[in-house]
Amino acid sequence: MKSVRIIALRKDRKRLLEHLQDSALVMVQKGRKEEKGFTRLDTSAQIKQFERNAELTEQALKILGKVEPEKKGMLASFKGRKEIDPDEIGRIASDSAKVIGICQKICKLDKQRADYAAEQVRIKTALAQLEPWKKLDIPLNTKDTATTAVLIGTLPRLYDDTTLSEALAGECPELLFEFEILYSSSNLTCLTLFTPKKQREMAEKALRTFGFSQPLNPTSRTPAVKTEHLLDKSEEIARKDEDAKNDIASFAKYRENICETQDYFNLRAEKYQVIAELDQTKHVFVLNGYVPEEDCSKLEAVCSKVPSCVVEFEDAGEDAPVKLKNNKFAEPAQSIVTMYSTPSHGDIDPTPILAFFFYFFFGMMFSDAGYGLLLIIGTAIAIKVFKPDKRMRNNLKLFQYCGVATVFWGLVFGSIFGDAPLMFYKMFTGDDSIKTMQQLLPWPTLDTQKDALMIMIMSIGLGLAHILVGMGCKFYICIKNKEYTKAFFDTGLWMLMLAGFAVLAVGMATSQVVLYIGAGIAAASAVGLVLTQGRGKKGIFGKLIGGVASLYDITSYISDLLSYSRLLALGLTTGVMAQVFNMLSNLFGTSVFGIICMILIFVAGHAITIGLNALGSYVHTMRLQYVEMFSKFYEGGGKPFEPFSTKSKYFRTKGSNDD
């Protein structure tokens, strides 16, 4: 990685930045201290405005998505961004004010719909409050007459005519009253009580002892009239809401324009963030950044398009960002590495190693040649038809290579859509002499059920190789950093011990000579660890205790090795599920109905198996890389190389390097 300093006349700033953004070659240094004699522009106001506009378009797209969902095919997510001519950017810019106006209208209509929804809730609540009073033929806020007091309200328990009369008479014997119970339930009684006006206070006092309260929101209309009014209002609001919804849907034809405008404002915001990092005078500006060493000549060619531009390169140093560069086989696995962490300058790029083991282990877990073939064909068609951008293409390539490994392991385990070849062979030939796939296939295979112990041993062996490769990487890093003691004593001895145990295990199955050799290697390594692992302690006793205690780490290595039993477990799961669905699909015989059922169950069952086991294989393969191998040598924490580019979501310009 090289640090680059680009100097040009200020009048050429716009043109140069556009060339740099299209080329996606330079990562601009941010947060760098301002150089003496230069100033920097405060572009925060412009950036905020661009970001607000981008957020507005995003909000409008979400609203359109709810009201008028975009019709997309199942495979639309594989499609790359729309490619447009660079001149189209000018058209998008000139239309941006109009599009923002449309987005504002969409958001305003959505706000109206939210208000309508809130009003409908209020109406629903009011109707629920009026429901117990529907028999009342006078308004809820009826006033007293000249001689009679009117009390309308509720009691918080169940009363009937008899119990209420007895309760009031018992509480206040001298009270004269008449009442009507309008509604009663287990915890509510609605009533109207009439009493002489001079006894109003006496009646209120008596009723309060029973928890009497006046109705909420009393109105000057009868409950029936008020209910009818609210229902009419609800219908009117529903019509207005439907009109607003239709108005929003009418803007769906501008969806593509809104997407383009969102990208435009995001690009503008990115550009002005770069402008804020430029050191400038009245006539000149300076851009400081990073460029991969292999792209220096490309950058010079880009900058040569601006006559006033001068380019200077220097060594970037330890603070430089990291850009991963791998061949076509390993490149698809870069996303797995960066998902964990970008390698630092002290690390090695683990992508080539991870790529091999990721494909290999995924295939062993998915372990069906038919499923692998579907992965290969499906990803190849998606790449060919949809022409996705680089990130999606790499993701598809990742699963394509995993598909190749899956075909390999499927053939090893004799699994092709489970035991589908055997099922169809028996169905169409009637020959029951062949009982297993091993008998049907012309090459030797392993049965994940009958040969489970052998596959378990193979899984542990592959796990040991995986861990030793990770430790070998640590050994290499220590040698590279001239940490020879750490390399040989802290890593090399453990590698020898694990290798010794492996040889010992082989010897147990082959010959005593090999067993003794393995035991000797393991014992010698253990002695070496005891003598060296406590070297940082004080005193001979402390060093010895530290060395002996270090042997406890063997338990963590055993735990790591046992984790690779998931290679067997998931491979077994895939095969068993496939065979179960094959058996179910074959239950209905060879009649027309049976064939139809067989096809439906076969397709649906294997689709379920593929979905569940592909996800499980992906997750558990990733876990083996991150937990079992990366923990042995990988630190990460590097700063990823993120070039100044057209980081757009919906379109890319022709000729740009933004893939």
User: What is the reported pLDDT for 75?
Assistant: 61
pLDDT greater than 80 at residue 180: yes
The DSSP result for 80-118, as a single string, is -PEEE-TTHHHHHHHHHHHHHHHHHHHHHHHHHHHHHHH
Q: Which amino acid is at 247?
A: D
User: What is the reported pLDDT for 656?
Assistant: 64
Strand partners, 180: 192
Contact in structure between 604 and 320 (CB atoms under 8 Å): no
Q: What is the mean pLDDT of the chain?
A: 89
- What are the b/e assignments for 236-273, b being 16+ CB within 10 Å? ebeeebeebbebbeebbebeebbbbbbbbbbbbbbbbb
User: What is the reported pLDDT for 603?
Assistant: 93
Q: How confident is the model at residue 22 (pLDDT cuts 50, 70, 90)?
A: confident
Cα Rg of the chain (Å, integer): 39
User: What is the reported pLDDT for 594?
Assistant: 84
User: What is the reported pLDDT for 658?
Assistant: 61
Give the predicted TM-score (pTM) of the model: 0.80
**Side-chain-side CA neighbours of residue 512 (13 Å):** 0
Q: Give the span between the Cα atoms of 500 and 509, in whole angstroms.
A: 15
Strand-pair category, 148-155 with 310-315: unpaired
Distances (CA, A) of 592 to 129, 589, 597: 61, 9, 9
pLDDT greater than 80 at residue 441: yes
Closest CA relative to residue 360, chosen from 187, 175, 104, 571: 571
- The alpha carbon of residue 234 and the mean position of all alpha carbons in its chain are separated, in whole angstroms, by 41
User: What is the reported pLDDT for 436?
Assistant: 82
User: What is the reported pLDDT for 246?
Assistant: 95
Closest CA relative to residue 118, chosen from 234, 265, 268: 234
End-to-end, the C-alpha distance of the chain in Å comes to 20
pLDDT greater than 90 at residue 615: yes
Contact in structure between 121 and 141 (CB atoms under 8 Å): no
The DSSP result for 486-503, as a single string, is IIIIIIIHHHHHHHHHHH
The count of other CB atoms within 10 Å of the CB of residue 103 is: 26
pLDDT greater than 80 at residue 627: yes
pLDDT greater than 80 at residue 76: no
Q: Give the span between the Cα atoms of 123 and 127, in whole angstroms.
A: 6
**Side-chain-side CA neighbours of residue 89 (13 Å):** 18
More confident residue, 518 or 509: 518
pLDDT greater than 80 at residue 659: no
User: What is the reported pLDDT for 408?
Assistant: 96
Task: Find all residues with CB under 8 Å of 236, minimum gap 6, and list them.
Answer: none
Distances (CA, A) of 540 to 530, 531, 575: 12, 10, 57
pLDDT greater than 80 at residue 169: yes
- The alpha carbon of residue 272 and the mean position of all alpha carbons in its chain are separated, in whole angstroms, by 29
Contact in structure between 464 and 502 (CB atoms under 8 Å): yes
The count of other CB atoms within 10 Å of the CB of residue 228 is: 12
pLDDT greater than 80 at residue 87: no
User: What is the reported pLDDT for 587?
Assistant: 84
More confident residue, 35 or 201: 201
> Quick one: average pLDDT of 507-522?
87
Closest CA relative to residue 559, chosen from 506, 472, 616, 628: 628
Task: Find all residues with CB under 8 Å of 223, minimum gap 6, and list them.
Answer: 130, 133, 134, 136, 140
At which residue do the structure tokens 């038809």 appear? 385
User: What is the reported pLDDT for 211?
Assistant: 92
The count of other CB atoms within 10 Å of the CB of residue 452 is: 15
Strand partners, 28: 289
User: What is the reported pLDDT for 32?
Assistant: 79
pLDDT greater than 80 at residue 86: no
Q: Give the span between the Cα atoms of 362 and 621, in whole angstroms.
A: 6
User: What is the reported pLDDT for 362?
Assistant: 96
> Quick one: average pLDDT of 174-189?
91
Among 189-203, 246-260, 418-432, name the one with the lowest average pLDDT. Answer: 418-432
For 344, left (φ over 0), alpha (ψ -120 to 50), or beta? beta
Q: Give the span between the Cα atoms of 401 and 404, in whole angstroms.
A: 5
CATH numbers and ranges of domains, the chain: 1-40+277-321 (3.30.70.120), 141-214 (3.30.70.2750)
Task: Find all residues with CB under 8 Å of 37, minimum gap 6, and list them.
Answer: 281
Contact in structure between 399 and 375 (CB atoms under 8 Å): yes
Strand partners, 2: 291, 315
Q: How confident is the model at residue 392 (pLDDT cuts 50, 70, 90)?
A: confident
